[in-house]
């Protein structure tokens, strides 16, 4: 049977697929971090399928051997981690889905857990930010994405979708825009003012091109400059990575980061006070070889490692 230590014994192809082979439970006593799935994909503008994201990431997470050699930490030992399971989403009702997300995350935060959420499409960032804001106040946010997701509407007249959560979040004062930074933005947009809109809303936008010019160290310096010692929420859309490294996603955007670059960027956040994270837009039906889910599982493991390092610091 799965238990938090069997990661080192049972081969990755065997057993029930919980994240990192951690216990599947909703008993929150002593829990440091809960992994939560939000299998919702009705707010995607192109490829659906992210509803299968949490399950695929769990399956591939069994490849995680436990000790992070880059950050030199064993997060499953430093932290009590559980796989909380999935929020009961309602595919036909985004508002009820948001409400369900908020209820569950509120409960987890109140119980003292940190939460790493596996999507699902990026619309779920909004209820996640609402819950974290209730606990932490306006949030410093590092937002990795190919797209700014700050449209006012997507699908005519719709305020909620996977293209709008960060505008809503700013309007609702969930984000401390002085500490809001977007990394990896690129590609075409419907209008010439989309990037400007994001900036006017307060985002520090580091486009992919600027990131390549600054280099990893430069981008990390810019993040640290914005975030400082604030509690940091990380919202991570897998499409920030190039489709070669993450083909299984909803709106693939060519010309993105490599896996090496993204790992360096994420690991470079070490020392910051990561209080929550989401990893969204993994779409398994478009991920024939599973490499997107494998990358996502590794990134979630890095998020855990950041939390473990900060705790032990």
Which of residues 106, 259, 268, 311 is near its own copies by CB under 8 A? 259
Contact between 280 and 50 under an 8 Å Cβ cutoff? The reply is: yes
Q: d(Cα 5, Cα 130) in Å, to the nearest integer?
A: 34
Scanning residues 120 to 149, which ones bind its own copies (CB under 8 A)?
123
Select 61 or 273, whichever has its Cβ closest to its own copies: 61
Which of residues 221, 228, 244, 271 is near its own copies by CB under 8 A? 244
Select 39 or 127, whichever has its Cβ closest to its own copies: 39
Please, what is the minimum distance in Å from the beta carbon of residue 181 to its own copies? 18
Q: d(Cα 24, Cα 26) in Å, to the nearest integer?
A: 7
Contact between 63 and 294 under an 8 Å Cβ cutoff? The reply is: yes
Select 186 or 226, whichever has its Cβ closest to its own copies: 186
Please, what is the minimum distance in Å from the beta carbon of residue 138 to its own copies? 26
Which of residues 33, 78, 81, 86 is near its own copies by CB under 8 A? 86
For residue 215, state whether it binds its own copies (rule: CB under 8 A).
Answer: no
Q: d(Cα 209, Cα 176) in Å, to the nearest integer?
A: 25
Which of residues 22, 31, 37, 78 is near its own copies by CB under 8 A? 37
What does the DSSP 8-state code read for residue 132? H
Please, what is the minimum distance in Å from the beta carbon of residue 137 to its own copies? 29
Which of residues 152, 173, 178, 209 is near its own copies by CB under 8 A? 209
State residue 186 phi and psi, 5-degree precision.
Answer: -170, 180
Contact between 305 and 73 under an 8 Å Cβ cutoff? The reply is: yes
Scanning residues 179 to 198, which ones bind its own copies (CB under 8 A)?
186-192, 194-195
Phi/psi zone of residue 137: left (φ > 0), alpha (ψ -120 to 50 degrees), beta? left
Question: What are residue 82's DSSP bridge partners?
Answer: 34
Scanning residues 45 to 74, which ones bind its own copies (CB under 8 A)?
45-49, 51-52, 54-55, 58-59, 63-70, 72, 74
For residue 177, state whether it binds its own copies (rule: CB under 8 A).
Answer: no
Q: What angle do CA 58, 62, 64 make, to 5 degrees?
A: 115
Contact between 250 and 282 under an 8 Å Cβ cutoff? The reply is: no
Select 75 or 231, whichever has its Cβ closest to its own copies: 75
Give which of 51, 61, 37 is closest to 248, Cα–Cα.
51
For residue 235, state whether it binds its own copies (rule: CB under 8 A).
Answer: no
From 12-20, 125-133, 136-144, 271-279, give the range in contact with its own copies by CB under 8 A: 12-20
């Amino acid at each position: 049977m799965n238990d938090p230590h069997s990661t080192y014994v049972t081969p990755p192809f065997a057993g029930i697929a919980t994240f990192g082979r951690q216990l599947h439970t909703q008993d929150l006593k002593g829990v440091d971090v809960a992994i939560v799935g939000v299998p919702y994909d009705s707010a995607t503008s192109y490829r659906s399928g992210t509803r299968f994201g949490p399950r695929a990431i769990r399956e591939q997470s069994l490849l995680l051997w436990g000790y992070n050699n880059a950050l030199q930490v064993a997060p499953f030992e430093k932290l009590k981690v559980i796989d909380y399971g999935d929020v009961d989403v309602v595919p036909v009702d985004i508002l009820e889905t948001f409400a369900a997300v908020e209820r569950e995350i509120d409960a987890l935060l109140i119980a003292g857990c940190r939460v790493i959420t596996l999507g699902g499409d990026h619309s779920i960032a909004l209820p996640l930010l609402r819950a974290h804001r209730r606990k932490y106040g306006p949030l410093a946010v590092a937002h990795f994405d190919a797209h700014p997701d700050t449209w006012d509407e997507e699908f005519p007249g719709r305020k909620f979708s996977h293209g709008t959560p960060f505008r809503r979040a700013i309007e609702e004062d969930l984000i401390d825009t002085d500490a809001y930074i977007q990394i990896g933005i690129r590609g075409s947009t419907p209008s010439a003012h989309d990037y400007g809109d994001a900036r006017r809303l307060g985002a520090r936008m580091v486009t992919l091109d600027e990131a390549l010019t600054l280099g990893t160290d430069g981008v990390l310096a810019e993040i640290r400059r914005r975030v400082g010692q604030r509690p940091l929420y990380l919202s991570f859309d897998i499409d920030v990575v190039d489709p070669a490294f993450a083909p299984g996603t909803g709106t693939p955007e060519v010309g993105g980061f490599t896996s090496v670059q993204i790992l360096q960027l994420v690991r470079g956040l070490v020392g910051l006070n990561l209080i929550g994270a989401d990893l969204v837009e993994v779409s398994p039906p478009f991920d024939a070889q599973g490499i997107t889910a494998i990358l996502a599982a590794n990134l979630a493991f890095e998020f855990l490692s950041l939390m473990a390092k900060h705790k032990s610091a």
